[in-house]
Chain A
Amino acid sequence: MMNLLAVLFPAAGGSMAGVRRVRPRIVSILLFVAALDAALAISFALRTPASAVVVFGGGYFVADATSRLFLLVVSLVFLGVATYLWTRVKDTPELRDGIEKLVGLSFAFIAAANLSILSHHLVSSWIFLEVTTIVAVPLIQFWPTKARIRASWHYFLFSSVGLALTLLGFACLARGMEAGGGGEPTFFFDALAAAARQPPELWRRIGLVLILLGYGTKLGLAPMYTWLPETYHAAPPAVTALLGAVQFNVALVAVFRVLQLYRATDQAVIGPELVALGLATMSVSAFGIIATRNYVKLIAFASLNHGGVIAIGLGIGRVAAYGVVLYAVSNAFIKAILFLTAGKIEAHYRSEDARVVTGLLRDMPYSGLFFMVGIFALLGFPPFGSFLGELIILSGLIGAGRFAVFAAFCAILTVTFIATGRTVFPMIWGAPTDKAHRAGQTLTSVLPKLILLLALLAMGLYLPAPVNALFRQVAAGLGAQ
């Protein structure tokens, strides 16, 4: 029952957004529901044994290590986004106009994301991921500009085509089950696990290629990545955080489910495809980072890079699996911290040009600090979880004897590091401009980002035993040794 509450809270909050009497307090309600959701997810993750698997809702939903871990990630990011909106609306009263629509859509987005994570059926997780895509369109267009409308169109078009390819992949899997004599095709995970033990055959392999290509679109993997930098740059910061840190992980959970089912029998197809997509994505990301002087776009291109690293780790599997889980969760928190902080910086300087923003640490002490630490984590500095995750993935590459991939991986990371530092370090430590003035920031407004930051540090230094057990359980499903 606790599992369903994670969905019911946002759904109830969403229905309240339509009630006229509560509209003046709707952002406070958003914050309250997000805090409740996070408390529930934390208790759910800490109090349930990592290996426990509970199927509920007529067999359509499952609470296992993967769903518990990612419900926790989504709820913490949601709390960060809710706090950001609360402080922005408090500081800028003109943003209150029509805010109930944004809040209602955010609730719907989170409810669909939670349902997708909890799904125990391959097609139902796809349906709820589609729902998050459909709800995200009006969110991206919120406070509309030409750039936002255009970005939302490209986002929706790429997502629709990608998810149509995934659906085609499911149809190929069903065809494979029919051809293999595995009985009536089904997409419930437990029955699929039994069917996956049949010897590999062509339809299944075509299906897996299409599914990974389709979900890869939602992860921003090359070749269908062009929507991502444009959308992350154009959307309002809170929406970008939802897309980058919530929807990305919902799509990743869908990929995890597929790999948990088919890695053992179809590694020969899955591994090379993911490694190739990952390397291509890291390369285009490096070019994007070199070319841009816009700090929001730079973070968006860095998100592409993260997607590439995760794809390579998943392609290698085994030793790298634990690193992938660590890196994916760190990545969610880094993106949430950086996009929300970038929103504050843009609101203060009225510019997204990195050359205009200088002396951030003096002008905006809290935001400057978060931006600096977020960039360190983004670049994979110790002691953050992203560092440890990247290190484990690299050792996985060595262990698997993939030396050429290892060399390419290191070369691209070095280029990314230099290009990012060249653009971002002057923003943080440069001399403030004459016009700049110190922005007032309260501790309460930065508290959720502080929690995300502490979580990032914990993943690099010390993870509480129950949370570490969750990470290990998810990694074991991905083939960790």
Chain B
Amino acid sequence: MTYLLIAFLVVAVGPLFIATWRTSLAGLGLQGLLLTAMLAQRGWHPSPAAAVLLLDLLVLRAWFVPSHLYGILGRQRRPRRNDVIPANMLSWSIAGTLVILAFHFAGLLVPEGGVAATHLAVATASLLLGLLVLGSENTTLAQVTGALRIENAVALFELSGEHELPLPIQLGVTAVLLATLLLFGRFLRQSRGGVLEEREP
């Protein structure tokens, strides 16, 4: 499990430095794949709710998120470069500090350490980095990326527990995620020409 968690953290941090929208989308897709791998490693108990959760992680997060957004951005011929945080030493230092703080926080909450502490640390770091992305850039794409990073951080934290939601509830949560992704796509289409970024006089 630990190497999957470390990989998740690398995927969360990497796109902050490689500032292209393709890297951001690949990062989100990889996070989905890693979440699926963690679900498999946690132990698979076949049930309809578990199947829906698998669908949520593998189909929605790993495949649909990058492919749907890639299709929209590709058609818009967006410039390759897309900073999710400002490309300067200050922002990178803040990102690094947040990761260290996340590990410190996990150490306080899970003093016995081990995989549980690493799991909490990576989920917290991913959440804080998602909030950093949201707070740093006001472009629609960066904000969509930030919101999806937060969604993945929440999913990662949920995987640390053993409990399973009842089928109707799991279906509802997955349906809400799908609708949210479709709306993010709609906003990305509407953001063409900077409608969502500019301020009216």
Contacts and interface: CB of A to CB of B under 8 A. Distances in A.
A146 B200 contact: yes
B190 A171 contact: no
Interface in B146-165: 147, 150-151, 153-154, 157-158, 160-163, 165
A171 B147 contact: no
B interface, by DSSP: helix, strand, loop or mixed? helix
A435 to B, nearest CB: 26
B113 interface: no
A160 B147 contact: yes
Given A157-B143, A161-B150, A184-B163, A149 B196 contact: yes
A153 B196 contact: yes
Interface residues of B, number: 33
Contacts of B200: 146-147
Interface stretch (A129-137, A274-282, A397-405, A407-415): A129-137
B187 interface: yes
Given A164-B147, A164-B154, A124 B168 contact: yes
Interface string B152-182: 0110011011110100110011011001100
Given A60-B168, A161-B147, A153 B140 contact: yes
Contacts, number: 76
Contacts of B35: none
B134 interface: yes
Interface string A155-173: 0110011001001100100
Contact of A134 (B150, B179, B190): B179
B169 A185 contact: no
Nearest to B177: A130
A31 interface: no
A150 B173 CA distance: 26
Contacts of A258: none
Contact of A121 (B161, B169, B186, B187): B169
Contact of B169 (A124, A147, A149, A164): A124
B183 interface: yes
Interface in B179-201: 179-180, 183, 186-187, 190-191, 195-196, 200
Contacts of A184: 163
B158 to A, nearest CB: 5
Interface in A243-280: none
A263 to B, nearest CB: 24
Interface of B: 109, 127, 134, 140, 143, 147, 150-151, 153-154, 157-158, 160-163, 165, 168-169, 172-173, 175-176, 179-180, 183, 186-187, 190-191, 195-196, 200
